[in-house]
Chain A
């Protein structure tokens, strides 16, 4: 069965510091992968999606970037964090039954 992992689970970082969040998927090959952010009291915002290695599409211009160095690995990065980057970051992969998406456990990021 497919599983999706994210780390770290929680992170507290100062403004201006770099960021690297990792997501890996097991049990499937060539998945479509997604990064979302959920700010406090708000809905999920799609940040990036990837249909394959090295292929990244950005949905919203911002302070973040994404990379997909391997088939089942998706990384979210920033060179300099802003206070507004705080939130709950979720990685997801797309299922094949009905195009539903399945989420990892998320990383809760607090920028101080």
Chain B
């Protein structure tokens, strides 16, 4: 079973729409959670960390459900510039290995005018 699983999409939405991405992780001992954004042929960039109580940054809201091992990202009022691939990322400590990040394959979003 993969450490992190995401719906690959693609999601195609009009400007102004609300879109939600989901992600599940397999290790209940996972400690930290993030959403990254990756534009085509570019490096991933940190969008936001995900906290247990949920957190919001402008039009973006992230939620964490530890009991269900589920993370979500909600984007409100979508803009053309939101078109990208969104990566769900989980930090887990295994044995003697330092905490390492596990990346989902990403969910592709296209916002059309």
Instruction: Report which A residues bind B (CB closer than 8 A).
Output: 32, 42-44, 46, 49, 51, 57, 59, 88, 90, 97-106, 108
CA gap between A46 and B31 in the complex, in Å: 18
Min CB distance A105 to B, Å, is: 6
CA gap between A101 and B46 in the complex, in Å: 8
Q: Counting CB contacts under 8 A, is B98 at the interface? A: yes
Q: Determine the interface band of chain B, counting residues with CB < 8 A from chain A.
A: 20 to 34
Instruction: Report which B residues bind A (CB closer than 8 A).
Output: 31-32, 34, 41-46, 49, 87, 91, 97-101, 103-106
Residues of chain A within 8 A of B43, CB atoms compared: 90, 103-106
Residues of chain B within 8 A of A98, CB atoms compared: 32, 34, 49
Given contacts A43-B105, A44-B103, contact A103 B45 (CB under 8 A): yes
Q: A43-B103, A98-B34 are in contact. List 15 more A-B contacts (CB 8 A).
A: A43-B105, A43-B106, A44-B103, A49-B100, A59-B100, A90-B44, A98-B32, A98-B49, A100-B34, A100-B49, A101-B101, A102-B46, A103-B45, A104-B43, A105-B43
